[in-house]
Amino acid sequence: MSKESQIRAFYNGKNFFITGGTGFVGLCLIERILRSIPDVGKVYLLMRPKKGKEISQRLEEFPKNPIFEKLLETNTTDIFNKLVPISGDVGEENLGLSAQDRQTLVDNVNVVIHSAATLDFQENLRPTVNINLLGTRRIMTLCKEIKNLRVMIHVSSAYVNSYLTEAHEKVYDAPEDAEKVISLVGTLSDEALDQIEPKLLKDHPNTYTFTKHLAEHEVVKCADKFPCTIVRPTMIVGAWKEPVPGWTCSKVGPQGFLMGASKGVVRRLPLAKENIADYIPVDVVVNELLVAGWNAAKAPSGLTVYHCSSSTQKPFAWSMLESSINGMLHKYPLKSAVWYPHLKLVPSLLMFRISAIFIHFFPALLLDTLLRLTGGRPILWRLHKNVWNSLGRLEKFIFSEWKFHNPNTMDLAKKLNDTDKDIFYIDITTLYWEDYFKNLLLGVRRYLNNEKSTNLQSARNKDSVLMVFHIIWQMLVIVTLWYSVAAGAGLSLVQSAWVAPTLYMLYSYL
């Protein structure tokens, strides 16, 4: 006889309050709760009007989201009646809550999961302090008022300690006094704030990691009042198993690379292919949030930190995929591809920039011109320009390697009974990266490019046509350069015949 799920038993009848519920992790978390904990109480979602839509209208769109397709195979849309939108914003005083909504949360909530944050690496200190640091403080203030709070779960990031090459599951000393930072943000102009930012950040690469680090200390302050737990995911990628392998709605990281590569637009990728890239599937992250909350609630107070990571348990390096990635791109091509896909890994930003001029910008100029002539909207030049401009900010994350040790997570996995190991899996030892990336590519195809498996054969036919055009394009480039070199040297094409194979070799190296 199978054992009862301990996780499900704990959360049955409990009311959640979730911030960041409309984001990548948040949507997967809501789906997991509704499908795996059917007897959950209410799930209050902090939401704000967006794009002219009220929060009730935004909630009405949930059943149409592809992530809920599996849930709706066994449930009617009535299951979404458990979701209760609460108008507010972590970036506003008192979370922007009305007195009535705040009282509702104080009287009814049992579990708080704080996921909302600004992830923009370009942001200066003002918005990141307000949302990441003060937003967390506002959540913790609310938690202190909640009458029957069983556990508070804070979604942090392993990269809050990215100034270390190896990090452990503990809260490190704050990089700066939070009150000083808040005071500076409240009194200085944007220009003055930008000037002192490097001094404040010290070894932190950006304001995101800096403010998320400070936010952890807001949780620490409450650890003696009620059970708290901090879960630090690394780079979150598409689903491993649930709700379906490869599900994603994020264009960040590998999903974005694969989306661009499938289109034939991204053809060079700057990275250190032998370095460990710490990726963690989104379904493992949401499972760990729920499991960590269940475990923390066993004690009346306290704090445990968990790294939701792969670098020390199931490490991945892009060299593992280098020989197979292009085969995948042509086995599962896109009908909407604009160029023949071929992804090559380059080891430095300098090499990438040289390659990008010939491999990205020249084709982008050609395709954007064709789009203009046919009434379309030229976007490729702008896309590559944005990538070019962002590389400086991302260089540390592209070429650095971290080890995020996760013994607390591995110990937590051992506490699960067989039923919970199956439903709320957090052990990634059976994850095989090549199989995972094949499913991720299919997920990118389905969920980011909106292409179904029924058009796969026609997509393969187009892929063959694009290969012919790609060969013709390469020949035109080489012949044009050959002619230019010959003309510049005062030679005939026959006299400069050696130039053609030389150019081909150089072009292939790019």
C-alpha dihedral, 88 to 94 to 99 to 105, nearest 10° = 70
Whole-number Å distance between alpha carbons of 56 and 63: 13
Return the structure tokens found at 404. Answer: 């995020």
Contact 413, 426 (CB under 8 A): yes
pLDDT value of position 503? 76
- Give 306 or 392, the one with higher predicted confidence: 306
Q: Looking at the predicted structure, is the pLDDT value of residue 359 above 90?
A: no
Residue given tokens 């710490």 in the structure block: 278
Mean residue pLDDT across the chain: 91
Confidence (pTM): 0.91
Both structure tokens of 52:
């002219």
pLDDT digits 0-9 by tens, 109-142 = 999 999 999 877 678 899 999 999 999 999 999 9
Q: In terms of C-beta density within 10 A (0-12 exposed, 13-18 middle, 19 or more buried), how is residue 128 classed?
A: buried
Residue 27 vs residue 503, higher pLDDT: 27
- 8 A C-beta contact, residue 13 and residue 40: yes
Task: Determine the pLDDT at residue 485.
Answer: 85
Residues in the chain: 510
Contact 31, 71 (CB under 8 A): yes
Please name the residue ranges forming H helices in 109-189.
125-128, 134-145, 178-187
Asked whether the bond before 66 is cis by omega within 30 degrees of 0, the reply is no
Gap between the Cα atoms of 48 and 90, Å rounded: 10
Phi, psi at 18, each rounded to 5°: -125, 130
pLDDT at 2: 59
pLDDT band at residue 510 under the 50/70/90 scheme: low
Task: Place 482 in a pLDDT band, splitting at 50, 70 and 90.
Answer: confident
Q: Are 260 and 266 in contact (CB under 8 A)?
A: yes
* Helices and strands in the chain: count of H runs, count of E runs: 21, 13
Q: Percent of the chain, pLDDT > 70?
A: 99
The yes-or-no verdict on residue 391 having pLDDT over 90 is no
Q: Pairing between strand 111-114 and 151-155?
A: parallel
pLDDT, tens digit, 9 for 90 and up, residues 307-336? 999 999 999 999 999 999 999 999 999 999
List Cα–Cα distances, 55 to 76, 83, 89, 158, in angstroms.
21, 12, 12, 31
pLDDT by residue (tens digit) across 77-114? 999 999 999 999 999 999 999 999 999 999 999 999 99
Give me the pLDDT at residue 1, please.
41
Judged by average pLDDT, the poorest of 70-79, 321-330, 355-364 is 355-364
Task: Classify domain 6-251+276-318+400-430 at the CATH class level.
Answer: alpha beta
The residues, ordered by sequence, that sit 6+ positions from 63 with a Cβ below 8 Å of its Cβ are: 72, 77, 80
Q: Where are the alpha helices (DSSP H) in 264-379?
A: 282-296, 325-331, 349-356, 362-373
